[in-house]
Structure 1
Amino acid sequence: MKHANVSGNKNESLGRRARGLTRVGGAWGLSVSLAAAAALAQAQAPSASAPAPAPKPADSSFTWNGITLYGIVDIGVQYQTHGVPASDYFPAGTEAIILANSNGSVTAVTPSNLSQSRIGLSGKEPLVGDWSGVFRFETFFNPQSGNISDALKSQVLNNGRPAATQTTNVDSSIAGQYFAGAAYAGFSSPTYGTITFGRHVTPLADGVGKYDALGAANAFSLIGFSGTTAGGGVTEDRRLDQSLKYSAKLGAVHLGALYQFSGSSGTTNTAH
């Protein structure tokens, strides 16, 4: 009996140890599970120090379905030691160079001192491959008077007047057209260039606008104010109607060509 009791005590002790190991094993398993869950939650949770993604800026342009409405209003105050009163129609407002009628000092509110005031509509519609259909229509105006720019009207208003009583009047390719700045449509490709038909500035005028150190500003640049340079000697030829224009940029090479149709047989009144 004594031997049996010792054996029973031994078995009971082994049972308690086994139950203890089971409890320890269960606690260890629970601890591992909790640690894994905490690590997973930490990995999935956003970092407190990571900045939130910046909101996408709102599109503030006046663009709808590839068609953009744009404009420039340029107005300022000008003082000339030798000039004449400003015109409500001449695109630059005043004569920025001394002319025959420049007979006194003038202070005036003037339009388009740095760039021509305008309102326009342009469009670009993808077609096939990298080709797109493009167009542009642009109206020039004098913001200080609200009139459409018309250099020829500034001259007509001074017909027969002596120099002492004249206002600004200078010739220009801008002569009251509804789309004096541009009126063309065509096709464009980044690979092959752009070809359009309508009213364009000449490639020479493009060069003046891009490479003049004064930005072809009416109030400060001689070749910007005078269309003679950009028109190849004739100010009216700075912009040409019924013209076909091609331009392209191929690496470091810039290409440009323009041809004006006369609407008559032969080469009379054509230009290129």
Structure 2
Amino acid sequence: MNLNHFFKLALLPLSIHQAFAAQTEQPGTATQESPSFVSRFMNDDNPLRVNFELGDHPSYFQVYGLVDIGLTHINHSLPESYELANNFYPYAGAKKTARTTSRTNWVNGGWQGSRLGFKGEVAKLQAWDHDFKFIYQFEAGFNTLDMKLHDAAQTLADNSGTNANSSVSTNSSMNGELFTRQAWAGIDGGSLGKLTYGTQYNPFFEITVTYDPNGKADSFSPLGESGTVGGGGGVSENSRMKNSIKYANVYELEDHDKINYAVINQFGNSAGTSHGNGFTTQLGYESSAFGVQFAYDKFFDSVRSGVAAPGNPLANDTIAVALLNTEAALLTGRWSPTKDLKIIGGMEWYQLKPSSTATISYHNLYDQTVFGGVATSALQPSFKQDNHVYYLGANFDFAQRMPALAGLTTSIGFYETKADAIEGPTVSTNSQGKIDTWTAMADYRFNKRFDTYVAYTSNHFSGDKYPSATTYRDVNSVGAGLRLKF
């Protein structure tokens, strides 16, 4: 690996920023009355927002997005997969196969998965002497390097049967649909709260976005890499809840302190719309110096997809589907002893249990053929498995004490993921394991649009779940990248 590549990548946004600045300063390219598009793009908070009147209702429509490209080195990995939001997956570990080597390559979503979306509102819709707003948001996730939609199910199909271990693969809540990240609409009643319906983030996911010391980095933080622990309460597919209705509200106290609460319910188990049914509740308190969030969820007949029948040629280009009942709780906290320092931590517990329904027919799921045409419970009756996640870290903003370094922030965090043995009539010792993860990041923001980052993560695997004969015990990754937000 040539480290010069990382330094060149980190300096690229500075060149871009200087080019934009030079363009906006040229005589005749912009005036105070009519700023150029480049000037508006670089300086406006929402450069692609259009305000208009729909009848006598104030409205807006906004296009937004994020592009994240990085260069990453990992010491043990199968070939990268560009259909995943994170193309390498150090937190998942690495099997000892002929295709597993050290690798250096460009990736999409070193920090955040690239996305493109639109949102808007139509305001002052009066009813019962109260003003309401119609609100909506639709968001697609895509890979900047090949312009394909995120499609984890395709990576599973590519690794099933005789193609086992051909590339990085995993299950996810993003499986090739156009607006797979978000797709919802609803009503905002101000102090009465918001009521929305569609494909929406599980509150577990939304909490960990804010309460991860390393910013829920897609390729470097367990909470960003894994929907299982970073949003799904035990099943990655549940980090986004399809066919769901959500009510959320914020109650403002004195001194701008806030109490927030929410409840969301996913309906039914219908192939093509939603898979499993369940609910999540959330309660939190936020102030400038302190914050705490708690969430609890419970799901029935949740779908967990995976690779099908390794080595069996009949399983090529198919996926396997398992069913689970889950129960989970998440508690996080944030303390800011000074304006430049935040200390963040949390703990999560989730339990995997046999599904309520022993088998469900799924001949096709996520546009993939289900091997055998049926989903069965991942655990036998009377069995269960408890899992625990603990993390603690801090981030520091240099601007408060060193104005010359304004824009520079650093963070560090430790995460412990512990899987207990599967318990039941018998105990399965090979299901017990632990992952210890250290992650450090540094980010430098040039302006509202561009920033650059460097990051490092170390993952140590131990326990019977990760036997040293077939699994690498230490998987480390380092990378640098650029982000563009608009």
Same fold (TM over 0.5): yes
Distance 1:173 1:214 in 2: 22
Work out the CA distance in 2 between the residues paired with 1:214 and 1:151: 24
Q: For 1:174 and 1:182, locate their aligned partners in 2 and report how far apart those are by CA, in whole Å.
A: 10
Q: What are the Cα deviations for residues 65-114 of structure 1, in whole angstroms up to 9, with x where unaligned?
A: 30101111111100001112211211211113242436321111100111
Alignment correspondent of 1:193: 193
The answer to whether the Cα contact below 8 Å between 1:84 and 1:166 also exists between their aligned partners in 2 is: yes
- 1:255 Cα shift? 0.5
Q: Distance in 2 between matches of 1:227 and 1:98?
A: 12
Alignment match, 2:78: 84
CA distance in 1, matches of 2:250, 2:110: 30
1:117 aligns with 2:114: yes
| In structure 1, C-alpha distance between the alignment counterparts of 2:103 and 2:87, rounded to whole Å | 12
Superposition pairs of residues 116-135 of structure 1, within 5 angstroms: 116-126=113-123, 127-128=125-126, 129-135=130-136
Q: Is the 8 A contact 1:130 1:191 kept in 2?
A: no
| 2:140 counterpart letter in structure 1 | T
Q: Which residue of 2 aligns with 1:215?
A: 215
Alignment of 1:238-253 (within 5 A): 238-251=239-252, 252-253=258-259
Gaps of at least 5 residues in structure 2 are 1-31, 53-59, 253-257, 280-486
For 1:70, the equivalent position in structure 2 comes to: 64
Identify unmatched segments of 5+ residues in structure 1.
1-53
Moved more, 195-204 or 123-132: 123-132
Q: Check whether the contact 1:216–1:223 (CA below 8 A) recurs between aligned residues.
A: yes
Q: Is the 8 A contact 2:82 2:143 kept in 1?
A: yes
> 1:90 & 1:169 partners in 2: Cα distance?
8
The range that moved more, 247-256 or 71-80, is 247-256
How far the C-alpha of 1:263 sits from its partner, in A, is 6.5
TM-score normalized by the length of structure 1: 0.73
Partner of 1:97: 91
Q: Which structure features the higher share of helix residues?
A: 1
**What is the RMSD of the two structures over their aligned residues, measured on CA atoms?**
2.2
Indicate the percent of aligned positions where both proteins have the same amino acid: 29
Deviations 1:6-37, CA, capped at 9 Å, x for gaps: xxxxxxxxxxxxxxxxxxxxxxxxxxxxxxxx
8 Å Cα contact 2:193/2:250 also seen in 1: yes
Alignment-derived partner of residue 392 in structure 2:
none
Q: In the alignment, what sits opposite 1:143?
A: 144
- Take 2:277 and 2:162, find their aligned partners in 1: how far apart are those partners? 35
Q: Deviations over 1:236-258 (max 9, x none)?
A: 11111110011111122110110
Partner of residue 205, structure 1: 205
Could you say what secondary structure the match of 1:97 adopts?
helix
**CA–CA separation in structure 2 for the residues paired with 1:221 and 1:139:** 22
- Give the secondary structure class of the aligned counterpart of 1:74: strand
Task: Assess if the C-alpha contact under 8 Å between 2:89 and 2:168 holds in 1.
Answer: yes
- Who wins on radius of gyration, i.e. which is larger? 1
TM normalised by structure 2 equals 0.42
Q: In the alignment, residue 263 of structure 2 is paired with which amino acid?
A: A
